[in-house]
Structure 1
Amino acid sequence: MFYRTATASQQTVASGRQSSVLHRLAPQLLAARPSISQQHHLNAASPAQWSSANRSAALLGLTRAGSLLAMSCLADEAMAASYTEEPAVATSSFAAASAVATQLPAEGNGKPASTGPMLLASGAFVLPHPDKVAKGGEDWYFIAANHRAVGVADGVGGWSEVGVDAGAYARQLMGNAAVVADESTASAPDAQVELSAQEILERAYSQTTVRGSSTACVAVLNGDSLGVSNLGDSGLLILRAGKVAFHTPQQQHGFNFPYQIGSADSMSDSPSSAQRFEVAVQPGDLLVLGTDGLWDNCFDEEVASVLKYCGEQKMEVAKMAQVLAHYARHRASDSKFASPFAYAAFQAGYAYMGGKMDDITVVICQVQQPAKL
């Protein structure tokens, strides 16, 4: 169900703007729609065959993506004001964006050879669950002041059942990660200091003192090599020339039970359990970091289509993050959408249809050469 209803005047304005957006967006969305033969194959497939290799054929709901994306691109004021259960200021109060850039070091130690320094232009947007707007949701993120490290974290909601703020751990963890990343380069801000995503995660974890637990994904750019440490079901996607080049796999103990790090009384996993990756990147690549509120509601191909449209509209990365978050919210609200979460539930033996309402945090970074920023 949708959690907001536009006024009559807003609906009139929205209708005209949606038509314009849909007209421009329709060709690429139709191109991404599964063919009749693909749909037949999907219907005949067993749950074990529903894997990332054929998820593009599973996008039966993508035919409606045009209208959903159009809704996401409407005036932010109208979108926020149309909520009936939350104040108009809520969306912007917990959203944040930052354009960042710096000169990055050359690679070594057997990693891909650097072609020279590259930069990140980054933006972030946090869209809390409609029921958690007052406290800002349970997700958070960081973009370090040295402009070389980013991350997202998703607080485990079960803590609220015992009177603990489930978002406090994620917020402190990400705040600590930002400090650790900055301290790593503070002594030699102009030198080519290599950052480690895993070290940032582990040191931030050791400094986090509040009760709770969360998933986490941290990424750092060293030259043209991206280091990633991901624990749980948050994650990072790389888009190159509009195509999916890389996506971190999820770490799950069981269905809807991701790996997590937390306080001593949380019986959580060790940060050393994080999966670690080194991926060569190129100028123009888009990095998409998100909590499970994004990945449970959007297939990779949908994310690529939305950001392709954003790029064609010359949007800044902060606006891209905002549009993608709202797109995921619409998917979460669709009770008839065969979402990634629904497919995962089916594979685990549960009957479930629709998106999954949740906090949604998106960080988008574009790899750029210095002259481009």
Structure 2
Amino acid sequence: MSMTTQAVRSYEVRITTGNRRGASTTAAVYVRLIGKYANTQRIEVPGEFTRDTTVVAVIKTPHPLGRIRIVEVGHDNVGDLGVGWYLESIELIELKDSASTHRPQEYNHHQQHRAAHGTMPAHQIPNLQEGDVVRTLMFPVRRWLGKSDIGVGNYPTSVQLRVGIADSMTDPTSFMLPGAQLIKGTKAEPFFIKCGAAAFPHPEKVRDGERGVVRPDIGHAGEDAYSIATVRTPDRNALEKLGKLRAGSLVKSKLPTTVTISVCDGVYQWRDKGIDAGEWSRYLSRMLLYQGQHHVRDPDAQDSIQSERWTQSYKDLGLLPPLVPLAHPSAMLKAAEERIRETELLGSSTACVASLHGLDNMMFVACLGDSGVLVYRKSMGVIFRTPEQEHAFGYPFQLGHHDVSDHASDALVSHCRITSGDVVIVASDGLFDNLFESQISKILDKHMDTRNAQLCATELASEAYANSVSERMETPYSQAAGEEFNLVWCGGKKDDISVVVAFIVDK
């Protein structure tokens, strides 16, 4: 039988593991390509999938797959420590054909067919020339596959990424779990926000007689600080005069409030140099409180923030922009950073800012460092959580007076659609290092009926404090440290703990 020359299709796949605690995996990672005419088998990708690294491999298929529709990536969930994997992104580059031979009757493009494949170590892959590339597909994933090694959940070990279909999973500015978004076009029902806070100093500071300061609008404990800025939205008559009221959308004289929550965690190590980083975090928190109370916007916000981050985010979710222009958390953080750099304060601090909008069912977030935001929905569990930003284990991103400090522009900016019944937590790493998501969820469930935010925040901080002083308790920190240093680690992490809880209610 005669032989016919047929093109061999090659794809370069670049798989990036996220830069967060517990992100690496020891399990075998695979990729599967699903095209218009044919699929590949699950192709194991060689390499070490460690934190903040990219593994590159080449997949060759002797039969054309047609236009790629789905890229499936996952792992076999087999291994000792470090099986869970945080996948940051995957990039698929379709290369130009190379010649090969095969028998034409071995392939019928009208039938599903599993293509042959091969892989190549990254160091053997030549640099791509501009003429080598046919098409590039980029998927920002940002999600866990399998059981997280730092206790943030147990998720499916694989994910299918569909070409040309955007959802929360491939949205680079959202950390919601797939399916957690409200359906686009769903009517936004106004809600109200009930907040409470708790602040516990480091156990050694408690032993020395130090206590946390908790007030309705601002508080602190050790180097931690928080603020809660509540703004009453203009009443109906004022909005009508401004011509900004949507016809028939509101029937009450008072609109739901907007609440901006911030948590700042001063870096303790400055004490070794005689510097109290708590002064930096407390000043930063006061500046963020002022920003939230007065809706102060950056002079360029109308162009850079309002248009790009407010308006586009609302359009993406099928909503109209907010009635009243408000400062985006990233603009608040930028303004606060500029103010504190004008002072002579020394030190540094992480910062996390979340703005909750009762009228538009939206939350916008800007986080720098390892403080974070979590959203819990009783019917689904944790639906949203920001990842920590670290240069290395225990070295978070931070605003500071020193030259190598980070900036507000480095913050992760995200958004989440929330609704009545949700619970929002903004907290320092003292909470998330010492309580698993399952433990946090259990405490939240206890308070869903009474919705006593103050009592709930206090119980969360108390449980985290108890775990932090334990030498035997398994905690998210002990799991992350065990994987990072490849040893058995037990107990919690002694730290300041600040927690702000916001219950979303319909009246």
Structure 2-normalised TM-score?
Answer: 0.50
Q: Structure 1 residues 229, 113: CA separation in 2 closer, same or farther (over 3 Å shift)? A: farther
State the distance in 2 between where 1:238 and 1:331 align: 22
Cα distance per residue 1:154-192 (max 9 Å; x no partner): 000011111111211111001000111222179xxxx72
**Is the aligned partner of 1:142 residue 2:227?**
yes
State the distance in 1 between where 2:224 and 2:150 align: 28
Retained in 2: the 8 A contact 1:47–1:346? no
State which of 208, 232, 257 in structure 1 corresponds to 2:395. Answer: 257
State the distance in 2 between where 1:198 and 1:114 align: 27
Q: CA deviation at 1:311?
A: 2.6
Partner letter of residue 405 of structure 2?
Answer: S
- 2:293 alignment counterpart: 182
State which of 180, 185, 191 in structure 2 corresponds to 1:118. Answer: 191
Q: Structure 1 residues 176, 185: CA separation in 2 closer, same or farther (over 3 Å shift)? A: closer
Retained in 2: the 8 A contact 1:50–1:343? no
Q: What percentage of residue pairs aligned between the two structures are identical?
A: 32
Retained in 2: the 8 A contact 1:239–1:304? yes
Q: Whose RCO is larger (CA < 8 A, sep 6+)?
A: 1
Q: Which runs of 5+ in 2 are unaligned?
A: 1-75, 87-143, 152-183, 212-220, 232-257, 298-322
Cα distance per residue 1:247-303 (max 9 Å; x no partner): 10111111111111112x252111111101111101111001110100111111110
State which of 364, 367, 370 in structure 1 corresponds to 2:504. Answer: 367
- 1:7 alignment counterpart: none
**Is the aligned partner of 1:245 residue 2:383?**
yes
- 1:46 alignment counterpart: 81
SS at match of 1:192: coil
Partner letter of residue 426 of structure 2?
Answer: L
State the distance in 1 between where 2:264 and 2:376 align: 21
- Which residues of 2 match residues 47-126 of structure 1 at below 5 A? 47-49=82-84, 52-55=144-147, 115-126=188-199
- 1:285 alignment counterpart: 422
Cα distance per residue 1:5-33 (max 9 Å; x no partner): xxxxxxxxxxxxxxxxxxxxxxxxxxxxx
- 1:17 alignment counterpart: none
Q: CA deviation at 1:368?
A: 2.2
Cα distance per residue 1:310-344 (max 9 Å; x no partner): 335x2510110000000111111221122111111
- 1:129 alignment counterpart: 202
SS at match of 2:373: strand
**Is the aligned partner of 1:197 residue 2:329?**
yes
State the distance in 1 between where 2:424 and 2:325 align: 22
**Is the aligned partner of 1:156 residue 2:267?**
yes
Retained in 1: the 8 A contact 2:350–2:369? yes
State the distance in 1 between where 2:187 and 2:196 align: 24
Partner letter of residue 162 of structure 1?
Answer: K
Partner letter of residue 222 of structure 2?
Answer: G
SS at match of 1:298: coil
Partner letter of residue 324 of structure 1?
Answer: L
Cα distance per residue 1:65-103 (max 9 Å; x no partner): xxxxxxxxxxxxxxxxxxxxxxxxxxxxxxxxxxxxxxx
- 1:96 alignment counterpart: none
Q: CA deviation at 1:239?
A: 0.2
Rg bigger for which structure? Answer: 2
Retained in 2: the 8 A contact 1:125–1:321? yes
Q: CA deviation at 1:350?
A: 4.8
Retained in 1: the 8 A contact 2:451–2:503? no
**Is the aligned partner of 1:216 residue 2:351?**
yes
State the distance in 1 between where 2:411 and 2:185 align: 22
Retained in 2: the 8 A contact 1:42–1:57? no
SS at match of 2:447: helix
Q: CA deviation at 1:48?
A: 4.2
Partner letter of residue 349 of structure 2?
Answer: S
Retained in 1: the 8 A contact 2:81–2:483? no
| Number of residue pairs matched by the alignment | 274
- 1:333 alignment counterpart: 469
Retained in 2: the 8 A contact 1:145–1:178? no
Q: CA deviation at 1:45?
A: 3.0
State which of 367, 370, 383 in structure 2 corresponds to 1:230. Answer: 367
Q: CA deviation at 1:54?
A: 4.3
State the distance in 2 between where 1:197 and 1:224 align: 16
Q: Of Structure 1 and Structure 2, which has the larger fraction of its residues in strand?
A: 2
Deviating 4+ runs (over 4 angstroms): 41-44, 50-59, 111-114
State which of 339, 349, 355 in structure 1 corresponds to 2:485. Answer: 349
Q: CA deviation at 1:114?
A: 6.5
State the distance in 2 between where 1:292 and 1:58 align: 12
State the distance in 1 between where 2:356 and 2:461 align: 24
State the distance in 1 between where 2:482 and 2:226 align: 30
State which of 410, 413, 417 in structure 2 corresponds to 1:273. Answer: 410
State the distance in 2 between where 1:184 and 1:113 align: 28
SS at match of 1:306: helix
State the distance in 2 between where 1:113 and 1:267 align: 45
**Segment drifting more, 112-121 vs 358-367:** 112-121
Q: Structure 1 residues 334, 44: CA separation in 2 closer, same or farther (over 3 Å shift)? A: farther
Retained in 2: the 8 A contact 1:42–1:58? no
Q: CA deviation at 1:42?
A: 9.5
Structure 1-normalised TM-score?
Answer: 0.68
SS at match of 2:295: helix
Q: Of Structure 1 and Structure 2, which has the larger fraction of its residues in helix?
A: 1
Q: Which runs of 5+ in 1 are unaligned?
A: 1-40, 60-110
State the distance in 2 between where 1:324 and 1:42 align: 32
State which of 433, 442, 448 in structure 2 corresponds to 1:311. Answer: 448
State the distance in 1 between where 2:260 and 2:83 align: 37
**Segment drifting more, 322-331 vs 129-138:** 129-138
